[in-house]
Structure 1
Amino acid sequence: MEIAQVRHWTWAAGARDGGWVTVEFGVLVDVREEGAGYSAERIEEVMLADRLGFDGAWLSEHHLTPDGMLPSPLVMAGVLAGRTERIRIGTNVLVLPLHHPLRVAEDVAVLDLVSGGRIALGVGQGYAEREFAAFGADRRRRGVLLEDGVRRIREAWSSGDVTPKPRAEIPIYAAGVTAAGLRRAARVGDGVIIYCATPADLVARRKLLDEVVDDPPPLICTGILHVDDDPDRAWADAAPGIAYLEGEIASYGGTEPPPLHRDDYLVGTPEDVAARLIDLHAATQFVHFAHWLRLPTLSHEAAVRSLELVARRVIPAVRAGVSR
């Protein structure tokens, strides 16, 4: 897919070069308990991302976690909308089978209106058995519930009878992992969201998407990225958080976390990571790449340092590289 072809699908309205949409970049906002001032530093970090020109901030949803990981992304989206000016705010992802579609349609429509049209809805079918059990939702029907939920949300927005009417069409993106999940995501979403921790896994997931879907919609890649002028410090800062995330994901699936190999991850100097992102774009044709703004266990100072380097040295290099 050529860059010019994704103009209609741009996730945020601000990333343009000569009238054409360029590759966009966002941050995954990992909100966990920090003692006093829950999420205060995360909000400050998103405000910085807004000032630095990032295109999007994505909020995840999990429940019953020991570390208090964000269970209410739409509530936090309203907070961030009130503290930022231009960055678009989305969910990555809202576990739609745990929610009533009409409630979601109304909440997102209100967010769209109060944010000046800066809201996107990313949805997924979910997978954690304990979350479905807690909400009394039928995990066996999660695929059907996702498809039906997206349909009902779109109907609510288009009719205007049962929800405030959004300013404009709100994009809905859908996440997928398996062949069946990717087919479903491509069928119901304006774009497909793929999360993988490593570039190699993102490339493999893109290949699977191409195998199971003819003419897939635009791809939003999300993964792990951390930079520092000192590559050894970059890895030392990032490795504990990566291990935490890989262990957390493995626990949901009842598997063992993979061994960590430094070269597998987008961690290093800004120049090294930019070069690898250019290669990743060539292999996946992502239209938007979002990375963990602050890995678990990472200090606020290290997160800010990395964010500034990404904005000033990684993103310009990648956009120049993919536009050649």
Structure 2
Amino acid sequence: MEIEFGVLMDVREEGYGGERVDEVVVADRLGFDGVWLSEHHLTGDGMLPSPLVMAGVLAARTSRIRVGTNILVLPLHHPLRVAEDAAVVDLVSGGRLTLGVGQGYSEREFAAFGVDRRRRGALLEEGVRVIRSAWSEVAPRPRGKIPIYVAGVTAAGLRRAARLGDGVIIYCATPADLIARRKLLDEVVDNPPPLICTGIMHVDEDADRAWADAAPGIAYLEGEIASYGGTEPPALNREDYLVGTPEDVAARLIAVHEATRFVHFAHWLRLPTLSHDAAMRSLELIAGRVIPAVRAGVSR
């Protein structure tokens, strides 16, 4: 099966208008296989709290690209509500929804919703069970089978994700961390389901300009992710990230595939602080030169 490529839509308070949606329309036209939406709450920049609402918007503006959540924090929601909303999005999109869920980790989010963070693993398991049951027993029913992918990070989380999900989602900013997570998954699970990798990738004809454009956004993302988990952000090293010329990034992504065997790789379509023009240059180059080179390289 040919490996797939997708984009992560970064939506913050200033980006709910036209440009971000237009960028996904371009990704659809360029042949990307999926667009993914994350979920966060109580952020200073208004990062997307309602991924299924935005999924419906994107479904209406696109024609073929699959629309997915990566991830929806299931313990913060009533699973029947999620099942109904997901079924509606799937129906209006013509069966293009993928539901990616996870247990979450942010203490402030769980406190705000009055959910016991210590029960998040159990709530995730129960939620997936309820959703699958609702889709078979309660109208509206999805057009077909909606894939449920489950995110994991730790050994216990990866075991749970492999047991519950049609696929396992891993987000890591760097190739080294993606490879380490794949190794851990193989250590704790026999015959795991397909792996969906999401991370950072940005390309330009000029490698120095690629890094100059991407570095502020990477620093912002790493800082935000660290703040959610109450940790310190890592120091930025240029060689750690999939940033550079199309040829260099393609070669490195082929190596990532050899080590992780991902079936789908998604990257931030537009990093925070990145201009629309820089994001579109990168997207065109990834579609035209990175993806064909990677597919050719992994098929040998």
Decide whether the 8 Å contact of 1:31 with 1:39 is kept in 2: no
Q: Aligned with 2:13: secondary structure?
A: coil
Partner in structure 2 of residue 33 of structure 1: 13
* 1:199 aligns with one of 160, 163, 175: 175
- For residue 126 of structure 1, what is the amino acid of its counterpart? G
In 2, Cα distance between equivalents of 1:136 and 1:177: 24
* 1:295 aligns with one of 265, 271, 275: 271
Deviation at 1:40, TM superposition (A): 1.8
Deviation at 1:168, TM superposition (A): 0.8
In 1, Cα distance between equivalents of 2:127 and 2:178: 27
Q: How does 1:157-172 map to 2 (within 5 A)?
A: 157-159=135-137, 162-172=138-148
Partner in structure 1 of residue 202 of structure 2: 226
Partner in structure 1 of residue 215 of structure 2: 239
1:265 corresponds to 2:219: no
Q: Aligned with 1:57: secondary structure?
A: strand
Deviation at 1:163, TM superposition (A): 2.8
Partner in structure 2 of residue 217 of structure 1: 193
* 2:52 aligns with one of 66, 69, 74: 74
Deviation at 1:255, TM superposition (A): 1.4
Question: What's the TM-score, normalizing by structure 1?
Answer: 0.92
Q: Aligned with 1:26: secondary structure?
A: strand
1:141 corresponds to 2:98: no
Q: Deviations over 1:175-230 (max 9, x none)?
A: 00100000000010000000000000000000000001111100000000000000
Identity among equivalent pairs (%): 84
In structure 2, list runs of 5 or more residues that go unmatched.
Answer: none
Deviation at 1:38, TM superposition (A): 2.6
1:22 corresponds to 2:13: no
Decide whether the 8 Å contact of 1:222 with 1:291 is kept in 2: yes
Query: RMSD of aligned C-alpha atoms?
Result: 0.7
Partner in structure 1 of residue 61 of structure 2: 83
List, as ranges, runs of 4+ consecutive aligned residues in structure 1 with deviation greater than 3 Å. none
Decide whether the 8 Å contact of 1:243 with 1:260 is kept in 2: yes
Decide whether the 8 Å contact of 1:125 with 1:142 is kept in 2: yes
In 1, Cα distance between equivalents of 2:3 and 2:98: 17
In structure 1, list runs of 5 or more residues that go unmatched.
Answer: 1-20
Deviation at 1:256, TM superposition (A): 1.1
Partner in structure 2 of residue 3 of structure 1: none
- For residue 6 of structure 2, what is the amino acid of its counterpart? G
* 2:75 aligns with one of 51, 74, 97: 97
